[in-house]
Structure 1
Amino acid sequence: MMVAALAVPALLTSACGEERDPAQEAADVAEIRAMHDNPPAVPVDPQRISYSDIEKNDLFGAGCGFAPENSLSVIALAQPDRGFLKLGGEILTLSPDKGGASLPMDSWQNYSGSDFAFELMRTSETGEQSGVEATSWPGSLRISDRQGKTVYEAGGTLQCGA
């Protein structure tokens, strides 16, 4: 059946007096297969991790939180032994890459789970004291899906403290 489906376009183009370059035809088929086998990333919209989420899921502890620009709402938490995102109303727990780059308060730059991973970055080495035990830096958050495709990216504030 597949042979017949490929033969029809070839017959139609040759019937019109047009000859197709076999190499170009193979490249076109490969491009279509690649698009089918490797679909585009589906963007996500991380939600605010509220104090009630922290209480309900026992997310207390020292670490770092990320809030996107023009917001005070934390959408990612990084702690020494776990990281958190809230997607679709659900708190996701991710594991740190303890062999990678570290952040203050024994937290890590990279965390991954079964469906998503995130990377927190300080975009400046100069931080500003923002509380008795907290420091803030300009930062960024990148969330990727299980294929490693970026599904969310934002600049904002990375705040670390106890």
Structure 2
Amino acid sequence: MMKAWPGVAIAVLLLPACQEGLTPQEQARQDARDVAKVEAINHAKPPPSPLDPQSITAADIEQNKLYGPGCGFVARTVPGGDPIVLTTPERATLKLAGKFVTLAADKGGAAMPLGTWAHYVGKEQSLTLARAPGDGTAPGLDRLRWDGQLTVRDDVDQIVFSSAGTVQCGS
């Protein structure tokens, strides 16, 4: 967007030559409107690019050493029940276009089970994981489950993925 600025600035500077007969006050108002338009263009957010997180399989967990105590989020729309996010006390992991993306724990935010956190931040995304209140249900030994919501935002804080699902925590 910075490359467009010189061309716009030149157009704004040449504008008075095209509008002869304006009083100084009218010209000042016109200039202010033109500057406001340029500033609005320069500060506009790009449209969000939706994400499509992929399932993190048991093979992915083994190959990338993603195991250990923490939580996973299983989206209602994901077949097979594999998580699309794994969280630990230090990081969250997403799989996007076949590559793993790691986000750091925001330890100033809300705490989740097993020392995990509700908010994680990365270079291009941040995610928020919310769970229903209460003690959760126990589908198996050393596991708890809650209804939950995952929201992923881009680097300009626009929602690029959101899903209801299940938060599952265990060791």
TM-score class, shorter: 0.7 to 0.9
Q: Pick one of 43, 55, 64 that aligns with 2:62.
A: 55
Percent identical among aligned pairs is: 36
- SS at structure 2 position matched to 1:119: strand
Q: TM-score, normalised by structure 2?
A: 0.78
Q: How many pairs align?
A: 157
Q: Pick one of 138, 145, 148 that aligns with 2:157.
A: 148
What is the alpha-carbon distance in structure 1 between the residues aligned to residue 40 and residue 84 of structure 2?
Answer: 37
**Bigger Cα displacement from structure 2, 108-117 vs 23-32:** 23-32
Quickly say closer, same or farther: Cα 1:24–1:126, change in 2 above 3 A. Answer: farther
Asked if 1:109 is matched to 2:118, the reply is: yes
Quickly say closer, same or farther: Cα 1:5–1:70, change in 2 above 3 A. Answer: closer
- SS at structure 1 position matched to 2:39: helix
Q: Pick one of 136, 145, 156 that aligns with 2:145.
A: 136
What is the alpha-carbon distance in structure 2 between the residues aligned to residue 155 and residue 97 of structure 1?
Answer: 22
Matches within 5 A, 1:60-139: 60-71=67-78, 72-125=81-134, 127-139=136-148
Amino acid at match of 1:6: V
Amino acid at match of 1:5: A
What is the alpha-carbon distance in structure 1 between the residues aligned to residue 128 and residue 135 of structure 2?
Answer: 19
**Unpaired runs of 5+ in structure 1?**
none
The alignment yields a C-alpha RMSD, in angstroms, of 2.5
Q: Is the 8 A contact 1:124 1:139 kept in 2?
A: no
Dislocated runs of 4+, deviation >4 Å: 7-12
What is the alpha-carbon distance in structure 2 between the residues aligned to residue 81 and residue 98 of structure 1?
Answer: 9
Q: TM-score, normalised by structure 1?
A: 0.82
* Deviation sequence 1:23-77 (CA, Å, 0-9, x none): 4333322222222xx3222211111001111011001111110011243221000
Q: Give, in angstroms, the shift of residue 9 of structure 1.
A: 6.1
Q: Is the 8 A contact 2:12 2:34 kept in 1?
A: no
